[in-house]
Amino acid sequence: MKDFDIIIIGGGLSGSSTALNLSKKGYKVLIIEKEVFGNIKPCAGGMASSMKKFLPLNIDQVIESKIRNVEFRWESSDNVVADLSGESPFWIIRREKLDQLLLNEALKYGSEIIRPVQVEEITSQNKTWIIKCSNQETYKSKFLVIADGSQSHWVRYFDLGPRKPKFANTLALRLKGLGNIPKDAVRFEFGFVKYGFAWAFPLKDSLNIGLGTFINNKTLEDEDLNNKVIKSFGFEDLSFKAVHKRLRIWNGVHKLNGDRVLAVGDAASLCDPFLAEGIRPSLISSYFAAENIDQCLSTNKNDLNNYSISINNEWGKSMAWGKRIAQIFYRFPKTGYQLGVKRKTAPKRIAQILSGQMSYEDIAKRVIKRLLTKSEG
């Protein structure tokens, strides 16, 4: 039976970055991944450059575009453009390359990975996890990290995160060429997708297109809708192959740790319920997971409660407002677009959210303050 300090279930973005953070600290880490490598990830790759501080390595080689403008449209017209000021605060990265880069670096620092392997049984004996796998091997570890993404089986087993998870339905495709999107701009297209929106994020020579619907479990299996969106981004050839994915989104403050176990990334239901941003919370949770496990291992303690507290402070407080905004905006999108997006300062604020300079909480507090000042005046 092979022995590790930490076993991580899932070798995607969250799993690999947690592994790198921990192996850099000198711990013995094993990642158990159920897939062979090479699938294109259904992820548009938009990320705030401010996340540098949570990244355990330089990722310049996977940045494909540096974004200067964010464009919003309602049914292909009524444009609003927000300039992103200064050094580009928003990047488009190629997700499969980022995951591979993090994983390779983790392996360089001594992490191990087994794939394609399924976890079959997890038990605990004398404060040690015993993990039986589909390769007929059994592995032991002191700590366990659940990083198996939106379809996570193991968060439920350990009772981590919301009992009733909420999902956004998404559709993703990658087309050759950039259509009518400038190479340094992203576009958010409202009005076509019920309870959500469509987006176009440019890579070097191709475009990541996505549709997301965030409330009421609306389906995106609608050829006319998909074609309309693709055409709005400047493409005529409609013979595309799309990937559908249910994305677990933030749904309230919940405990994300148990005794010697915690959840990170999508498995922890951290994705932004308004804009589907999941790279940022994956990196934040991986960072705090490693810090807290390190703290426990170096002081011989098992209490990971500070992990759940840190994630709530760093992310959950903002997402509570993101959820409220999503529920109002996507129910009344036309009014939301006119009063929210078309408001003079709104594009700048949304750009600040995307670039990590402001949180939904900051925005909500500003609005409340403005309303209070008006009602007093």
Residues in contact with ligand FAD by the rule CB under 6 A: 9-15, 32-35, 42-47, 118-119, 147-150, 153, 170, 172, 201, 210, 245, 247, 265-267, 271, 276-280, 282
Single-letter residue type at 319 = M
**Of residues 153 and 365, the one with the C-beta less far from ligand FAD:** 153
**Of residues 268 and 325, the one with the C-beta less far from ligand FAD:** 268
57 near 99, Cβ under 8 Å?
Answer: no
Minimum Å distance from CB 63 to ligand FAD? 13
Minimum Å distance from CB 37 to ligand FAD? 9
Structure tokens at 215: 């409330």
**Of residues 43 and 80, the one with the C-beta less far from ligand FAD:** 43
CA pair distance 173, 208, nearest whole angstrom: 6
Minimum Å distance from CB 184 to ligand FAD? 16
Minimum Å distance from CB 207 to ligand FAD? 12
169 near 226, Cβ under 8 Å?
Answer: no
**Of residues 19 and 320, the one with the C-beta less far from ligand FAD:** 19
111 near 96, Cβ under 8 Å?
Answer: no
**Of residues 105 and 266, the one with the C-beta less far from ligand FAD:** 266
CA pair distance 46, 293, nearest whole angstrom: 29
Residues 6+ apart with CB under 8 A from 168: 196, 212, 213, 214, 246, 247, 249, 271, 273, 276
38 near 325, Cβ under 8 Å?
Answer: no
Which residue's CB atom is positioned nearest to ligand FAD? 278
**Of residues 247 and 341, the one with the C-beta less far from ligand FAD:** 247
Give whole-number Cα distances, 119 to 17, 133, 207, 246, 290, in Å: 20, 4, 36, 22, 22
Minimum Å distance from CB 15 to ligand FAD? 6
Minimum Å distance from CB 298 to ligand FAD? 26
Please tell me the total number of residues recorded for the chain in this structure: 377
Minimum Å distance from CB 114 to ligand FAD? 10
Question: What backbone torsions phi and psi does residue 226 show, to the nearest 5 degrees?
Answer: -60, -45
Minimum Å distance from CB 373 to ligand FAD? 34
Give the 3-state secondary structure of residue 309: helix
Minimum Å distance from CB 116 to ligand FAD? 9
**Of residues 221 and 303, the one with the C-beta less far from ligand FAD:** 221
**Of residues 11 and 340, the one with the C-beta less far from ligand FAD:** 11
What radius of gyration do the chain's Cα atoms show? Answer: 21
3-state SS of 223-268?
HHHHHHHHHHCCCCCCCCCCEEEEEEECCCCCCCEECCEEECHHHH
Closest CA to 14 of 202, 213, 288, 255: 288
**Of residues 218 and 342, the one with the C-beta less far from ligand FAD:** 218
CA pair distance 211, 192, nearest whole angstrom: 10
Minimum Å distance from CB 362 to ligand FAD? 19
**Of residues 51 and 297, the one with the C-beta less far from ligand FAD:** 51
What single DSSP character describes residue 279? H
Angle between the 95-108 and 13-24 helix axes, to the nearest 10 degrees?
30
